Structure 1
Amino acid sequence: MNDSSTSVELADRLRALVSRLSPGDRLPSSRELIKEYRVGPATVARAIAALAAEGVVVTRPGSGTYAAQRTRLDRELDGEADAADTDWQTVALTDRAVDTHLIADPLGPPPAGTITLDGGYVHRSLQPTRALSAALARAARRPDAWDRAPAGGLTALRTVFARIVGGSVTPDDVLVTAGGQSALSIAFRAIAGPGSPVLVESPTYPRALAAARAAGLRPVPVPLDADGLRPDMLADAFAMTGARLLYCQPTFQNPTGTVLTPERRRQILDVARASGAFVLEDDFARHLGHGRAVPRPLVADDRDGTVVHVTSLTKPAAPSLRIGTLVARGPVMERMRAVRLVDDFFVTRPLQEAALEVLSSPSWDRHVRSLGTALRERSAVLAAALTQELPGATLAGPPTGGLHLWVRLPPGVDDTVLTAAARQRGVAVSAGSRYFATEPPAAHLRIGFAATADHAELTEGARRLGAALAGLGTTAA
């Protein structure tokens, strides 16, 4: 190599040399490289620096330059890498499983053109997207937008949520969370210890079951009827299991749409108090009434700290407005604050500021009213179509709020088989078996009316579902 050789050329030569060495082997010294390749010290220094930046060599001042350990990627590119042996993790992770089979779609993502009757959020056309975009833009322009938020949430936002809940709830009783699912996870881990039973409605929300099981809890089902959770069976379940926690959805229950009657609301709280237990009230549908007055949340009439209340903005607004709250009094709130502090310190401030902007605007009340009207109309359209297309099926309701219809299938129909057949015909629905903590008493479907583009899609979705049912060879009961 003559004097005009560059550091790039030298780096190429040294790279080839390193490929023949074993990791840890020492390269020739700078003096030896200068002599062998007839280059200057600066050229050698630049070439070595380039190889070190690539991870090809490791330099040790006072010792020399050495071939680096080859990365797994390098070995794979050369066809030398063996498959990673991660079997040891099976032992290390024993008893740490997180069960997601109830919330993961076993059929995978639906193909393009599928009518979505299994969605849990409102269609984009029903979202207040313009108000959300404007609110986020205003929030981002604030001088303190990117400062650290208080661990419990912005005081102004907690004040708004306290007013929404009503009763004697104060801002100090409110903890802002990153959506309702995060709130459920915090509450389950804060209230009950691993291995403890937790009473749940049957059927109930699958993601709540998943969160409870991830916290190490054991869901115990308590039946529902047309008036909601049965207080007599709840008392028996508390007595038999010794549970200290009940998870329930008193208003527009998911998936059945039932509303707990005023008398049962009092009875449920009385039974829980007598059992020394908490009631985890999931009030996800607070803003999803179909034009009628929505009952007060349980926590609004609770003065003993029995109720831990959960709500969020994702259902009535948009999936990515991940803002929710926990409402509670007493030591349980301090425990939940500690859990969320350990989890993630605080909810991102711009999103809290945007939520505050949205909730404080007169347009929010207008949105809730128009959304309620749209949901009521959609519910009626879908119910009528299903009545026509699914002979032998029984619809619960009609619901006075929420996003879904609960349909009992004719005898002999397997809900999972029908769900798969419906997907093949271009319509996605939810198998009812996902909503039960134990064996379901009958086959059901949860069918949503909020995630489609319009009424025509609802009608066409019902037609496709009816064709799938007919294709199974089932006759009307």
Structure 2
Amino acid sequence: MKGIEPMSEHDYRLIADEVAAAIDAGRLRPGQQLPTQRAFARRRGIANSTAGRVYRELVARGLVVGEVGRGTFVRAGRGTASAVPLAEPAAARVDLELNYPVVPEQSALLAAGLAPLLRADVLDAALRPVPVTGTADAREAFAALAAGTTTRTAPGTATGPDRPDWQPSPDDLLFAGNGRQALAAALASLVPPGQRLGVEALTYPVVKALAQRLGIVLVPLPVDEHGLLPDALATAARGGPLRALYLQPRLQNPLGATLSPERRAHLAAEVRRLDVPVVEDAIWSFLHPGAPPLAALVPERTVLVDSLSKRLAPGLSTGFAVVPRGLHGAVGAALRSGGSAPSGFALEAAVRWIADGTLETVAAAKRADAAQRQVLARHLLTGRRLHADPTSYYLWWELPPAWRADTFVAAAGRAGIAVTPAAAFAVGSHAALSAVRVGLASPPVPVLTRALATLAELADSLPEDHLDRSGRRGGG
């Protein structure tokens, strides 16, 4: 456009400040659509590129959300619980965001395993500092746990019909205080700041946060309902070297997909051909024990990260990693420099729970619980566009066309229910999908039943039905 002078970085932020003030004052309301960037530029007498910078700044501040093919909208806030009735008081929050499964019998089972630890001599040893290499007993127990067997078998012995010859050496084990610390150490050791990490286009939000903190550039790789598309790895590599690949090949979060044997083999072949190290997140794999890890096919390139936070409880969140010999020193150094050594008490307790079968008993109970909750969710959300594995604790819900994810999340929040918008998982674009992830693990089943019924009623209504007297979207 002729006659428009380029603006300085300071100037475009001043315009963003003006729009932010209009949102804060209520002149631009939650859910209201902004003009196109071209129309905004004409009105302001600025270049189209400057308008784009203004909009990107507003997205970065969390004030607006862009959606492909629909435009840019003022983001709806969470607000407080209001009109949609639940049996709990309106101020109570039903958490369908965080997923920490607890089954009724687990406390009694865990308590029995802890009793021997309370002897003075045993407790004294368990309270001493433990290095990131753990103890000999811990390495032995967790190697068996990672392999899916409770007892050690000879190397080269298959552990099941769908698990090809994977028996990690105890010497490959490293430990951390929790799974996030193990994950952070793996990423930091493999991907230098400014370098590229391939991830599923919908990925674990913690990885997005870790990448930002570590200065890692995330490269989104396309997925479908069956998981990562293996050919996307080569396509991404043509745009620049990938220093590593992070993925969840079993019960991927948020889609719940598990790679088929054919797709897993195809991906393993691509990883070898491109010589790309892999960080495999196995946090939910205990719910789908029949599927082997990618590490079984490419053990020399794969760091498998796991934790006990889902198998047992968040307060018992010992993290561990199976690390190829060539990467062992780098990952161990990253753990030590981050102060991520495990708790000796938690590690010793875990060793006992693995050995006496307690951990597998609790895991089996959670598998049954997850299956029950999936059946319940499918029943209450019949006819909706859902993606989920019948063994998982979460589902991906593509919302009706009338709803955008942020307005649905806001309306659900005012009903006292927390769900996660698609934008929390999306990588590579600020364009948000009209979908939410619903976690099924945390509330008791009766509370979950009422919450899912409320969400179904909400989805069947229209967003405009949930405008309160102030013009903000609320529960109805």
Q: TM-score, normalised by structure 1?
A: 0.71
> Take 2:77 and 2:143, find their aligned partners in 1: how far apart are those partners?
39
Indicate yes or no: 2:441 matched with 1:450. yes
Q: Taking structure 1 as reference, are residues 441 and 230 closer, same or farther at Cα in structure 2, changes over 3 Å only?
A: farther
Say which of 159, 162, 165 aligns to 2:140.
Answer: 159
From 95, 98, 118, the counterpart of 2:97 = 118
Distance 1:265 1:311 in 2: 19
Question: What's the CA shift string for 1:7-38, capped at 9, x where partnerless?
Answer: xxxxxxxxxxxxxxxxxxxxxxxxxxxxxxxx
- C-alpha separation between the residues in 2 aligned to 1:191 and 1:429? 33
Contact kept? 2:283, 2:306, Cα under 8 Å: yes
Q: Which residue of 128, 135, 144 maps to 2:106? A: 128
- Cα distance in 1, alignment partners of residues 437 and 303 from structure 2: 27
- Check 1:436–1:251 CA distance in 2 against 1; reply closer, same or farther (3 A cut): same
- Alpha-carbon shift at residue 172 of structure 1 (Å): 0.5
Aligned equivalent of 1:325: 320
Q: How does 1:187-206 map to 2 (within 5 A)?
A: 187-206=186-205
Q: Structure 1 residue 114: deviation in Å?
A: 2.3
> What is residue 400 of structure 1 aligned with on the other side?
390
1:39 maps to which residue?
none
Q: What is the match of residue 411 of structure 2? A: 421
Q: CA RMSD in A?
A: 2.4
CA contact (8 A) 1:204 1:255 kept: yes
Write out per-residue CA displacement over residues 161-200 of structure 1, whole angstroms, 9 at most, x where no aligned residue.
2112221311100101112111111011111100011110
What's 1:75 paired with?
none
Residue 140 of structure 1: how far off its partner (Å): 4.3
Contact 1:199/1:221 (8 A) holds in 2: yes
The 3 A distance-change label for structure 1 pair 154 and 121 is same
Secondary structure of the corresponding residue to residue 382 of structure 2? helix
Q: Where do residues 347-362 of structure 1 align in structure 2 (5 Å cutoff)? A: 347-362=342-357
Stretch moving more, 435-444 or 255-264: 435-444
Counterpart Cα distance in 2 of 1:126 and 1:182: 29
Following superposition, the deviation at residue 109 of structure 1 comes to 9.6
1:458 & 1:359 partners in 2: Cα distance? 31
CA distance in 2 between counterparts of 1:356 and 1:415 reads: 43
- Tell me the SS of whatever aligns to 1:387: coil
Deviation at 1:113, TM superposition (A): 2.4
Shift of 1:441: 6.5
Q: What is the aligned counterpart of 2:130 among 138, 149, 155? A: 149
Identity %: 28
1:239 Cα deviation from its structure 2 partner: 2.0
Contact 1:244 1:275 in 2 (8 A): no
Distance, in Å, in 1 between the alignment partners of 2:104 and 2:320 is 23
- In terms of Rg, which structure is larger? 1
The structure-2 alpha-carbon separation of the partners of 1:438 and 1:109, relative to structure 1 and needing over 3 Å to count, comes to farther
The 8 Å contact of residues 244 and 276 in structure 1, kept in 2 or not, is answered as no
Look up the SS of the partner of 2:182 in the other structure: helix
CA contact (8 A) 1:234 1:271 kept: yes
Contact in 2 for aligned 1:136/1:353 (Cα 8 Å): no
Match of 1:222 in 2: 221
Q: Is the 8 A contact 1:383 1:405 kept in 2?
A: no
Letter in 1 for 2:227: G
Q: 2: distance between equivalents of 1:298 and 1:100?
A: 38
- Contact 1:127/1:316 (8 A) holds in 2: no
Q: Which has the higher contact order (CA 8 A, sep 6+)?
A: 2
Could you tell me whether the CA contact under 8 Å between 1:136 and 1:350 is conserved in 2?
Answer: no
Judge which range, 182-191 or 132-141, deviates more. Answer: 132-141
- Which residue does the alignment assign to 1:377? 372
| Higher deviation after alignment, 439-448 or 268-277 | 439-448
Shift in alpha-carbon separation, 1:212–1:108, aligned structure 2, 3 A? farther
Q: Shift in Å at residue 334 of structure 1?
A: 0.7
Letter of the structure 1 residue corresponding to residue 222 of structure 2? P
- Deviation of residue 366 (structure 1)? 2.2
Deviation of 1:108 after TM superposition, in Å, equals 8.6
Distance in 1 separating the partners of 2:79 and 2:100 = 18
Q: Deviations over 1:363-422 (max 9, x none)?
A: 32222222111110111101211226xxxx41113x133310111112242101110111
Matched, 1:343 2:338: yes
- 2:396 maps to 1:411: no
Counterpart for residue 463 of structure 2: 472
Q: 1:241 to 1:139 in 2, by over 3 A?
A: farther
Q: Is the 8 A contact 2:394 2:439 kept in 1?
A: yes
Question: What is the CA–CA distance in structure 1 between the aligned matches of 2:132 and 2:328, rounded to whole Å?
Answer: 13
Q: Aligned equivalents of 1:122 and 1:400: distance in 2?
A: 16
> When the two structures are aligned, how many residues end up with a matched partner?
362
